[in-house]
A and B are shown apart, each in its own frame.
Chain A
């Protein structure tokens, strides 16, 4: 009896602690999400929003090439950015964790994330100036005679990818670094004792053990990149549109909130698919 009362009290206390977060999540995530999902089934006809449920918006997305292409553009750019960012961030994180003396590691990390301190918009516009015809890169290459005509690296996908990679390398460096420094040196000693060379130790021991850090960073990169509007808008030159830009067009120009909601649901599904892929893969590796 007493035990049951204590358990009840503990349970009530636990619910008391959890309730604010649950109410918050329900009010500001679940309810808006359900409303958005319902709205995605409405439609804009002329200048009116018709509140009759149908799948017209989704059908339109899969039949209009310009809309569908925004998803493929988003996926292509996001995957390119994620892969490039991992390839660049891993060696950087490894050098900071393994080669930089302990007392300098904090300073190295601060330097690595220094660009985070600048406004995202300002940083994107800065890249536009750096990559433009008269920008630093083209002027330097022209100056040393490596090229005779300025490279077309602004206002296109290359510029968007560069802007993204610059940002996400910092993020991935942090997640991979935090994983690397937690790795006991005993693993590498054991591998060496068993006759593994440096590469074999890295490939069979270090890399698998740091995969959780890589996948966490890669997933964050995927989520933030596929949902980003600013970088493609500023650096892409509108030469191809990604999904968030198409969503903004529905809201800003057409006031077509149902279509924007449908596109947002599709974006969420893409993120969910990425999460399921990462989670499943990580689970297999851990097993």
Chain B
């Protein structure tokens, strides 16, 4: 029997034991606290405990499970809320009350609940790893497909249960492997959380993850299977942006990881997502969402694990052929958990006390995103959107810098925009996406032929405004020539009318690509017509006097999402107004 030698916070050591392997899950102490082996040497085995260690004593037993820290995968995951090591929080609340107790053992998934299972194989079929043997409706919008574990060698189906209602632990299928042994298949399987689930091959990334957020979809789009980081100081709206994406992006399933963040935020997600109806399915958003909540005051070791638990769940659904978006809020808290544990292990620190392996851990995480052909032959994707909370809003700190190296889409949140309540406070000059070229073909085919050109024109206007603002800051806007004043006015329409988006407005909270495109077109048209009027000798005051800048700013509210035809009449009206202006008449719309 192995016994505890020493305890320091969440780190426990066992002296001179040879019975544990790396990343093995173990139970520590009389309370059987869930723990993981993180270091093995002939002198000591080091174990991190995922629960509070108060009251633990040297000499208490440590029991190995023989398996790596793993997640239970099966129907019942969606709509659930777990902590960082996949303990169901609702069931825990029933067991230990409002405050989370130690050593409470609950099955991650409901073992009583019955699912209506439809078998998709019959005796005599061949079944190889990753292939589906039965399906069951998990929520009204998600059909769960039970797949042969990627660890299995596969074999011939020798028995199937009749279609009907089964719990996750009932055997529904038996296969005989090539060696002749029999494997019993239930509705669930286990997978070690730190190992990526295999897929057949990675496919090129060429479809956008449509979010309905204008600044993201046009200026810095993210692809399905892509990675993005949202860095920003406190109060700049990281969580708000993550919530918006979780609500509206066109993924099939959302995995929301609240990693070291506020308890109230998770409560808010729970409440809001239950009330909000997904326009695509007419069902509450919870029907496609799974939450991992390891709030800042829950044990730090479980916070470190929460990211891996989340991505393992995502990969599992990807293997069924779904598109998953992961919101990780916030990866900085995860990095800090690494630092905290590393400090307890007395490892040599690198930058700012973070361990030297921080970059490799971050890259391992983001590399688990991708658009793949699954073992079962279907296509699925995992997109990762990670929030980063830089210390002191300083983007040069290690977590932001290392994250920047491994993501291809960067949405920089800006304090001054947030102060002005310009939301989403994504700074258009500092943000970028490396996916724009990959996605060009999609936009061309599905939105408009000249979408990329229009997008570039808008970006140019913002860019030129940015350089003009240097002058304006020094000398005021009055000294600028008229054409530059027009540019500044147009840029204002872009910033306030287009980039700024109201998450609380029923139409503006989600805007389809077609409307985004038409809004940009109309703004560009104003710039073009305004320029023509100036060439014709009209003063800038006459151009702004048409009132079109204000109209463009209010476009997002005035034209409902379901009435795109209104854009044509706006466009005609604008032409008339400017024609009148050029020909010397009074503007009609003023």
Decide whether A and B are members of one complex. Answer: no
Query: Contact residues of A with B, CB < 8 Å?
Result: none
